[in-house]
A = this chain, B = another copy of it.
Amino acid sequence: MEHMDVTFLGTGTSHGIPVIGCDCGVCHSTDPRDKRLRTSIHVQTGGFSLVVDTTPDFRAQCLRENLRRVDAVLYTHSHVDHIAGFDDLRRFCELENKALPVMGSPQTLENLARVFHYAFHAETRYPNYVRPDPRPVAGPFEIAGLDVVPVDLPHGRMVTTGYVFSRGPRRMLAYFTDCAGVPPEAEDAARGVEVLVIDGLRHHSHSTHLTVEGALEASRRIGAAQTYLIHMCHDLGHAATEAGLPENVRLSHDGLRLRL
């Protein structure tokens, strides 16, 4: 059975950490785990290379991880901190002269096509542009030998897409970023997952994101073996926050790698 290698490309909220012009302790921390680019993961399994979201930092993230191949992109939603690096996908089209499957909810793909109009419309596309192959997600699908179940997650006025990745009987990874809660359907889809990656913005409440405490509750309900918080703001220093968490809940950090 192939491994599934997960690399955290970025783990921070939309501002990134440090926040521009901020003098707080976390923004001035010398712990490298407190430097957070915008939230995204890379999944490698067999020869297949998948990214979830393309942040404004996508080029920097690719260079840091020496990413030289991308075979598909999954989008969770179309907020700017999750899509702004879309154009840097062009290099992966160019390197292998291929179009790139781009997956997400119909609403997400519609927004992508509005924002990156030039790439989605043949009449404006230069030969060296990104060549998206849009594939709206309407239900469970298979990619790279993985079964993927998309779930709806509430995120203020919008819905984001969470993804649960399984192989055969193994429910391996649930990726629930940018959500204010985990509805019963999403909880069921992720039940007993090996690794849950979940929004854990900060301690005090926010209208569109889970708190650390909300993430802990969701993790318990789901029964995740291991949980990693993601999309943290500068309220949460890595070391101090982890000290207060159960053993099987950690903060993710940029560059963290997991082998499942």
Interface residues of A (CB under 8 A from B): 14-16, 18-21, 56-60, 62-63, 67-69, 80-81, 84-88, 90-92, 95, 114-118, 124, 157
Contacts and interface: CB of A to CB of B under 8 A. Distances in A.
A81 B88 CA distance: 9
How many identical chains are in the complex?
2
Nearest to A69: B21
Given A56-B85, A84-B56, A85-B56, A63 B95 contact: no
A23 to B, nearest CB: 10
Contacts of A18: 63
Given A68-B20, A114-B114, A87 B84 contact: yes
Contacts of A117: 114
A27 to B, nearest CB: 10
Contacts of A115: 114-115
A20 B87 contact: no
B67 A20 contact: yes
A14, A56, A68, A114 — which one has the most chain B CB atoms within 10 A of its CB?
A56
